[in-house]
């Protein structure tokens, strides 16, 4: 899916004038004081050198551009994280705090309607030119133009504009006071105004395709096997190598991403020594395929890493723009046919827990009936909400095996599904489930890897018992991405990474404006004034209890619409890597994704460093 920057936020609400600070926290909880030496989860003395090779944790099957900011095409893995930097940077042990990176400090106006950033005079682009206020404004203007992918206009939509106050002083003006907006501004990726310059003329952003990016990050693009593999090489002159928010980080001289067409080829290449690190997403493969001589003798290390992240949401997503999926009863009926308990027992080795809502295993997940805090949020919307939002517990995925508490079986759920479909006007006629016009109900699942086939096959058998025809189609990820961009699908499997402080990215995921914007993340097609009002509540929360109540209310309302068939999640990361090549810090952060944690904070062993040095021309 599309890249959305981590949204890094802070607002200190005080009655006296606000002073520029080294950090900002959305709710005022700054862990590291001014002048701190380094983050707790790094080794400040980690040696530089060596290399690591890995595969992308996304479904990417190729890449065809070096510009990650436009809609058309696919950029290589982690281009933004390695090559481009933002004004502020988050940490892996605080969910809602960010510290100065390109900006030395940030000052929020007393009325909350602007934030001013002072740039670090050390900051340099890869061509040696300084990072200046004019580059910041240039980046903002281009990312919010029609030349950029549409999600950037959503993310930065509440920013009125950027003003240059001095060579290294820039102010972001906001449309309203919002606790999240100062660090949404701080999350802006900054690139040189020289990027895309050709014969003295600047090309439109959407015509910058294979021009070498001009960022300020720790890595540059190195050797490339275009569309297949890419290496990033550490910039020895990286401007931030000695500042506290980068000390002990980005230690590898070379990081290579290899791209394979399918999971089987990927795993076999790992066993054959083609790359060093891999993350497993399929429980069966983890149990049965991550085995063999090299795992037994310790040459390959297999680990389950614990973390404190909010759970990722994953599920089958309906395209509700299609007439056949516009009735919530139809969507609920299709969901009732999934037998998760059977799948978990027979296919997943009981490795997973069922996803319940959109904010999995977090404070923001709705439970039971709405409490007083949620009722305060929902009450003004009562006349536009179905009564069951207030009178019934939040919907849970159906239990599909004999349950002592409920007594429900799959057969019971299919009976309920049949009744819901009949209420919605779908009855069994002439060998199929048909509506009043005689049209048969069929659904198509799109997949890019084929791995979901073993889930869809038993699921389809249950749906066929209801008279629903099921098609399962495997296509290349690039084609799938294009079809998702224009909402040309019926049902897809998708995952949203969990967040400890969901915010502006939800506008892109559930907002009405995004529903009609090609390339947006609102692939479901949610277009609801009530949801928009709840998103506005989320955006305007100034205290964490307000955020919690608003997000629980949003979760509750979305779940009552049965927009997805929830999948499953794991509380650990399953990873494997080559022994003897890496070392890691003593402290594991609480909030992290394994590939970014490893590439940012691990380092090469002396043997690894020596081998790369000897191989250098």
Q: What are phi and psi of 415, to 5 degrees?
A: -60, -45
Q: Determine the pLDDT at residue 87.
A: 98
Catalogue the long-range contacts made by 373-379 (C-beta closer than 8 Å, 24 or more residues apart).
373/545, 373/548, 373/549, 373/552, 374/549, 374/552, 374/553, 374/556, 376/549, 377/534, 377/537, 377/549, 377/550, 377/553, 378/553, 378/556, 378/557
pLDDT-based confidence at 450, cuts 50/70/90?
Answer: confident
pLDDT digits (tens, 9 = 90+) for 566-579: 999 988 999 999 99
Position 501 scores a pLDDT of: 82
Q: Who wins on pLDDT, 266 or 15? A: 266
Position 312 pLDDT exceeds 80: yes
- pLDDT for the residue numbered 57: 79
Tell me: pLDDT of 523 over 50. Answer: yes
User: How many Å apart are CA 535 and CA 142, to the nearest integer?
Assistant: 26
Backbone dihedral angles phi then psi of residue 463, each to the nearest 5 degrees: -65, -35
**Within 10 A of 542 (CB to CB), how many other CB atoms are there?**
16
What is the pTM for the complete model shown?
0.87
pLDDT: which is higher, 81 or 18: 81
Give the mean pLDDT of the chain: 92
Least confident of 162-166, 277-281, 497-501, 589-593: 497-501
Mean pLDDT value of segment 3-8:
36
Q: What are the extents of the domains in the chain?
A: 23-262, 313-569
Q: Is pLDDT at 617 greater than 80 in this prediction?
A: no
pLDDT exceeds 90 at position 337? yes
Residue 202 pLDDT class (50, 70, 90 cuts): very high
Element (H, E) at 499: none
> What is the side-by-side order of every strand in the sheet holding 169-174?
103-108, 114-119, 169-174, 159-166
Average pLDDT over residues 297-304: 96
pLDDT band at 15 (very low <50, low <70, confident <90, very high): very low
Contacts 24+ apart (CB under 8 A), 456-464: 458/339, 458/342, 458/343, 459/337, 459/338, 459/339, 462/337, 462/338, 462/339, 462/410, 462/414, 463/334, 463/337
Q: Which helix (H) or strand (E) holds 280?
A: strand 277-280
CB 127 within 8 A of CB 192: yes
Q: Quick check: 60 and 477 in contact, CB under 8 A? A: yes
Per residue in 215-274, pLDDT (tens digit) is: 999 999 999 999 889 999 999 999 999 999 999 999 999 999 999 888 888 999 999 999
Calpha distance 223→225 (Å, rounded): 7
- The CATH fold of domain 23-262: D-Maltodextrin-Binding Protein; domain 2 (3.40.190)
Q: What digits encode the pLDDT tens for the residues 24-72?
A: 887 778 999 999 999 999 999 999 999 999 998 777 778 999 999 999 9
Please tell me the least confidently modeled range out of 107-116, 150-159, 228-237, 399-408: 399-408
Output the pLDDT for position 406. 60
Quote the pLDDT of residue 156: 94
DSSP element (H, E) containing 265: helix 263-271
* Tokens encoding 230: 């890419």
Looking at residue 403, its pLDDT comes to 54
| Percent of the chain whose pLDDT exceeds 70 | 96
The residue-averaged pLDDT of 341-351 equals 92
What homologous superfamily does CATH list for 313-569? Dipeptide-binding Protein; Domain 3 (3.10.105.10)
Please say if the pLDDT value at position 6 is more than 80: no
If you average pLDDT over residues 199-213, what whole number do you get? Answer: 95
pLDDT interval class at 405 (50, 70, 90): low
Q: Region 452-469: what's the mean pLDDT?
A: 96
- Give the whole-angstrom CA distance, residue 382 versus residue 419: 27
13 falls in which pLDDT band (50, 70, 90)? very low
Among 52-66, 394-408, 515-529, 556-570, name the one with the lowest average pLDDT: 394-408
């Amino acid at each position: 899916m599309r890249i959305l920057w981590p949204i890094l936020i802070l607002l200190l609400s005080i009655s006296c004038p606000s002073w520029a600070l080294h950090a900002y926290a959305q709710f005022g909880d700054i862990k590291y004081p001014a002048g701190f030496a380094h983050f707790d989860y790094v080794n400040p003395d980690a040696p530089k050198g060596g290399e690591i090779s890995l595969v992308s944790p996304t479904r990417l099957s190729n890449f065809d551009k070096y510009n990650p900011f436009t809609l058309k095409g696919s950029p290589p893995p982690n281009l933004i994280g390695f090559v481009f930097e933002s004004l502020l940077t988050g940490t892996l042990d605080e969910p809602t705090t960010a510290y100065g990176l390109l900006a030395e400090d940030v000052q929020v106006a007393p009325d909350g309607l602007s934030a001013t950033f002072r740039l670090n005079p050390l900051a340099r682009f890869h061509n040696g030119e300084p990072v200046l206020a004019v580059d910041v404004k240039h980046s903002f203007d281009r990312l919010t133009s029609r030349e950029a992918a549409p999600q950037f206009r959503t993310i930065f939509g509440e920013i009125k504009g950027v003003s240059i106050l001095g060579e290294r002083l820039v102010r972001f003006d906001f449309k309203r006071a919002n606790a999240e907006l100062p660090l949404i501004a701080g999350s802006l990726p900054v690139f040189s105004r020289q990027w895309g310059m050709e014969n003295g003329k600047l090309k439109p952003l959407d015509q910058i395709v294979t021009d070498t990016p001009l960022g300020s990050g720790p890595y540059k693009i190195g050797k490339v096997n275009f569309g297949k593999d890419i290496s990033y090489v550490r910039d020895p002159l990286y401007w931030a190598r000695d500042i506290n928010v980068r000390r002990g980080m980005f230690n590898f001289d070379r990081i290579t991403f290899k791209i394979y067409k399918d999971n089987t080829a990927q795993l076999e290449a790992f066993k054959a020594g083609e790359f060093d690190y891999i993350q497993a997403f399929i429980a069966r493969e983890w149990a049965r395929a991550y085995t063999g001589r090299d795992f037994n003798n310790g040459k390959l290390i297999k680990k389950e890493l614990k973390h404190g992240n909010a759970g990722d949401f994953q599920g089958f997503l309906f395209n509700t723009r299609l007439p056949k999926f516009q009735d919530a009863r139809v969507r609920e009926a299709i969901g009732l046919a999934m037998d998760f308990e059977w799948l978990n027992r027979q296919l997943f080795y009981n490795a997973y827990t069922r996803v319940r809502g959109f904010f999995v295993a977090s404070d923001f997940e709705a439970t039971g009936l709405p409490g007083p805090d949620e009722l305060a949020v929902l009450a003004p919307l009562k006349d536009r909400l179905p009564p069951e939002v207030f009178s019934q517990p939040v919907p849970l995925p159906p239990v599909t095996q004999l349950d002592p508490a409920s007594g429900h079986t799959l057969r019971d759920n299919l009976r309920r599904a049949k009744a819901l479909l009949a209420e919605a006007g779908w009855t069994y006629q002439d060998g199929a489930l048909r509506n009043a016009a005689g049209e048969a109900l069929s659904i198509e699942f799109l997949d890019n890897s084929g791995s979901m086939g073993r889930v869809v096959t038993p699921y389809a058998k249950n749906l066929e018992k209801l008279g629903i025809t099921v098609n399962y189609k495997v296509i290349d990820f690039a084609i799938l991405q294009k079809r998702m961009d224009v909402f040309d699908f019926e049902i897809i499997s998708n995952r949203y990474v969990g967040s400890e402080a969901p915010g502006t990215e939800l506008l892109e995921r559930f907002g009405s404006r995004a529903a009609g914007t090609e390339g947006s993340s609102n692939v479901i097609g949610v277009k609801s004034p009530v949801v928009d009002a709840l998103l506005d509540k989320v955006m305007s929360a100034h205290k964490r209890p307000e955020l919690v109540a608003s997000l629980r209310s949003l979760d509750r309302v979305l779940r009552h619409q049965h927009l997805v068939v929830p999948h499953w999640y794991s509380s650990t990361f399953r990873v494997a890597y080559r022994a003897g090549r890496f070392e890691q810090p003593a402290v594991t952060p609480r909030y992290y994704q394994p590939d970014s944690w490893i590439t940012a904070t691990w380092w090469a062993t002396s043997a690894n460093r020596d081998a790369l040095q000897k191989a250098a021309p």
